[in-house]
Amino acid sequence: MNVAGGAAERLIGRWDRLVEANPAAEVIDTLLRGVGQVMFQNNPVTGLLFLVGIFVNSPKLGLFALLGVAVSTATAFLLRADPTLIRNGLFGFNGVLTGIGLAVFLQFDPLLIAYVAVGAAVSTIVMMALANALAGWDMPALTAPFVITTWLMLFAIYSFGHLVPTPLIAPVAVEPGAPVQTALRSLPFGGAAGATLPNLANSVFTGAGQVMFQDNAWTGFIFLVAILVNSRVSAAFAFVGSILAMLTAMALGGSGVAIYHGLYGFNGVLTAIALGGLFLMLTWRSAVYALIGVIFTTVAFAGFSVLLSPIGMPALTAPFVATTWLFLLPKAGFRALEPVPMGEVSTPEQVREAQTGRWRGPEHGPAPGTAP
Instruction: Report 94-113 residues binding a second copy (CB under 8 A).
Output: 111
Contact region with a second copy (CB under 8 A), list: 55-63, 152-160, 193-201, 220-228: 152-160
**At its nearest, how many Å lie between a second copy and the CB of residue 227?**
26
Q: How far apart are CA 273 and CA 290, in angstroms?
A: 8
CB of 178 vs a second copy, minimal distance in Å = 7
For a second copy (CB under 8 A), the number of binding residues is 88
How far apart CA 372 and CA 349 sit, in angstroms, is 7
Identity of the amino acid at 299: V
Nearer to a second copy, 66 or 295 (CB): 295
Interacting span for a second copy (CB under 8 A) from 27-35, 63-71, 195-203, 304-312 = 304-312
Task: For helices 144-155 and 318-328, give the axis angle rounded to 10 degrees.
Answer: 150
Q: Which residue among 43, 203, 231, 305 contacts a second copy (CB under 8 A)?
A: 305
Q: What residue type is assigned to position 332 of the chain?
A: A
Q: Is 118 in the site for a second copy (CB under 8 A)?
A: yes
Of residues 176-215, those binding a second copy (CB under 8 A): 176-182
Within residues 262-301, the interface with a second copy by CB under 8 A covers 285, 289, 292, 295-296, 299-301
Q: Which is nearer to a second copy, 154 or 235 (CB)?
A: 154
Kindly state the smallest distance separating residue 82's Cβ from a second copy, in Å. 7
- Binding to a second copy, residues 220-239 (CB under 8 A): none
The values of phi and psi at residue 138, to 5°, are 55, 50
Residue type, 182: T
Residue numbers 15-54 binding a second copy by CB under 8 A? none
Nearest one of 51, 57, 60 to 93, comparing CA atoms: 51
d(CA 77, CA 99): 18
Do 94 and 126 touch, CB atoms closer than 8 A?
yes
Cα Rg for the chain, rounded, in angstroms?
Answer: 20
Give SS3 for 106. strand
Give me the 120-139 binding string for a second copy, x by CB under 8 A, dash otherwise: -xx--xx-xxxxxx--xx--
Instruction: Map the footprint of a second copy across residues 53-92, applying CB under 8 A.
Output: 78-82
99 CA to centre of own chain: 13
Minimum CB distance to a second copy, residue 357 (Å): 24
Cβ proximity of 73 and 95 under 8 Å: yes
